[in-house]
Amino acid sequence: MKKIKEDKRRYVAECKEVRGQYKCRLSPSFFFCLLLSSCFLLSSCYYSQEDATLYEVGDNFVLSADSLSLQSSQPLHNLPIDTACEHLSVYYNDQLVVAETLVIPEDSVDSVWVKLARDQFTMGWAHQRDFVESVVPDDPISWFIHFFSVRHLGVFAIIFAISLAALLYQIFSRKKPHVFFLRDILSPYPTYLLITLAASALLYAGIQHYVPETWMLYYYHPTLNPFGLPVILSFFLCCVWILLVLSLATVEEVFRLLPTGEALLYLLSLLGCSILCYLLFTFLSLSPGISYLIFALFVLVLLLHYFRHYRPLFFCGSCGKRLKELGKCPYCGAENK
């Protein structure tokens, strides 16, 4: 009996030693991505809202509409708008610069006029309303926001269909695919990625619905620097940076833990879940109380599921793969005691 107790104590001590020796470590790529994102943040320009407007004289834009009609002559005060004056047109993807602005209170259509110039021979006036609806600021961030706002549903539908088709193929071919949440990998990054995505979706939709003027100001004066912005925009940009770092770390981790084919299928399943997560929390943001409650439950379920079923406690002493428990390694067959 005494010998059995001694063997049990020795076994527990060995387990603790192995746990300490092979405890889960962060991927090197995570620290590299974190350092890279910090450099981008520190090198980004400072953003200030003092005396900021949607646009100023000298700002550059690109026409996103098929065409825009410009009035060649300047509109005048106390005179009816001359609809018979000469007009000229600019077309899709033409680069325009704001040359001048003019306010005419008696104009019943729009009191603000904007003079736009494509070149020294092509310039004219347009109502601010028509101008704002037809152009995109000549900045890559603004272009991405415009593209995402217009095309994201179509892109999401294609990606989700591909993800679903890949999953069904694996199921009907009687294979056991690695799927996020159902048959997950031993890594925290996918779980943290989905939680950050849900928070970003809530903030993004909330800004657009409840403080649209703040979002429009950011759209016309974008920056990657989260400092110096309104608080809600700062939180959103911080989430975007964290999301970028976690995405890179997740991709590296998946390809390190799984063969290339299985890794691609797993990433497709994770991408499909991310799309559903984004759409769900974007829709729920219309009801703040309900959305925050569901977000809290969502985070709780994901974390509990991960820590109970997929948190790696050990590493195989032979191949280095992550293990949930000591014993025979499912990857190389080595015994870990």
The neighbour count for residue 154, using CB atoms within 10 Å, is 9
Domain boundaries, the chain: 24-47+139-336, 60-137
Q: Cα separation of 163 and 55, whole Å?
A: 41
What percent of the chain is predicted at pLDDT more than 70? Answer: 73
User: Is the pLDDT higher at 3 or at 329?
Assistant: 329
- Paired sense of beta strands 60-63 and 95-103, if any: antiparallel
**70: phi then psi, degrees, rounded to nearest 5:** -115, 135
Q: How many residues would you count in the chain?
A: 337
Res. 155 pLDDT band, cuts 50 70 90: confident
- The predicted pLDDT at position 8 comes to 45
Q: Rounded to two decimals, what is the model's pTM?
A: 0.75
Please determine, for residue 97, whether its predicted confidence score (pLDDT) is greater than 60.
Answer: yes
Section 19-34 average pLDDT? 45
- The predicted pLDDT at position 236 comes to 94
- The predicted pLDDT at position 191 comes to 93
Q: For the chain, give the mean pLDDT.
A: 79
Question: If we measure between CA atoms, which residue out of 181, 232, 190 comes closest to residue 211?
Answer: 232
Tokens of 72: 């060649």
Q: Cα separation of 81 and 105, whole Å?
A: 12
Res. 77 pLDDT band, cuts 50 70 90: low
Section 312-319 average pLDDT? 62
